[in-house]
Structure 1
Amino acid sequence: MVFILGVNFPERNLVKKSLETFFGVGKIHSTRLLARFHVHPTCKIGELANKQVLDIQAALSEMKIENDLRRQVLDNIKRLKETGTYRGRRHALGLPVRGQRTRTQTKTAVKLNRMERRL
């Protein structure tokens, strides 16, 4: 078992997939991290050297991920609601925000965007 930022990963997991489990680290960021520290994309966590694990941890700790990023996103949505913008009102109603079709698919959007309802 290998610990990265307090998360315990089995040694047989791929490094790329394990990095993508963090909120805010997607396919592009994980690929760039692996290239930066010279780790092969199909490398497993158990095959990493201790220095590589420490380097990856240091790079992840510099990034805004997990709770910090979630808090920032929620603050941005809250700001939009308070200023009364169109996007803020759409967020408050649980409707699609970015111009998606609403004639037939609003039920799906309302289910996916469950948040407090406030205008």
Structure 2
Amino acid sequence: MVFLHSMMIHESVPIFKALQRFYGIGPNVANRLCAKLTLYRTAKLGELSQKQLTQVQQELSKLTIENDLHKSIVDNIRRLKDMGTLRGRRHAMGLPVRGQRTQTQAKTAKKLNRVERSMGARRNH
């Protein structure tokens, strides 16, 4: 097991797939990181030297990933709700935010945009 930026990952996992396990890193960013560090996409984590692992660790620490990214997304949505924008109200109602259909295909948005209802909101009814 290799400890990589607060996550234990098995040694047999390719570096390309290991990078994608972090929240906020997709195939494009993982590919860019591998190219920047001159690592083969198919290289296993166990095959990397300690120097290469520290380089990967340093590059990951420069990115906004995991809890920091999730926190900033939640803060942005909360900011939209506090301002009272249309997007913020759509988030609060659990409806599609970016102009998608609502008559037949809003199931996914309703599932993803669920909001924790506070007890204060229920007392008014």
User: Which range, TM-score by smaller chain?
Assistant: over 0.9
CA separation in 2, counterparts of 1:101 and 1:117? 25
TM superposition outliers: structure 1 runs of 4+ over 4 Å: none
Whether the 8 Å contact between 2:92 and 2:114 is mirrored in structure 1 is no
Q: Distance in 1 between matches of 2:81 and 2:96?
A: 14
Q: Mean alpha-carbon deviation: is it higher for 86-95 or for 97-106?
A: 97-106
Partner of 1:91: 91
Structure 2: runs of 5 or more not aligned? none
Is 1:21 matched up with 2:10?
no
Calculate the aligned-residue CA RMSD, in Å.
1.6
The amino acid that maps onto 1:77 is: I
Aligned-pair CA distance for 1:117: 4.9
Alignment of 1:52-91 (within 5 A): 52-91=52-91
Matched to 2:108, the amino acid is: T
Task: Look up the match of 1:46.
Answer: 46
| Identity %, equivalent residues | 51
Alignment-derived partner of residue 6 in structure 2: 6
TM-score, normalised with respect to structure 2: 0.89
- Structure number with larger C-alpha Rg: 2
Contact 2:15 2:42 in 1 (8 A): yes
Structure 1 gaps, min length 5? none
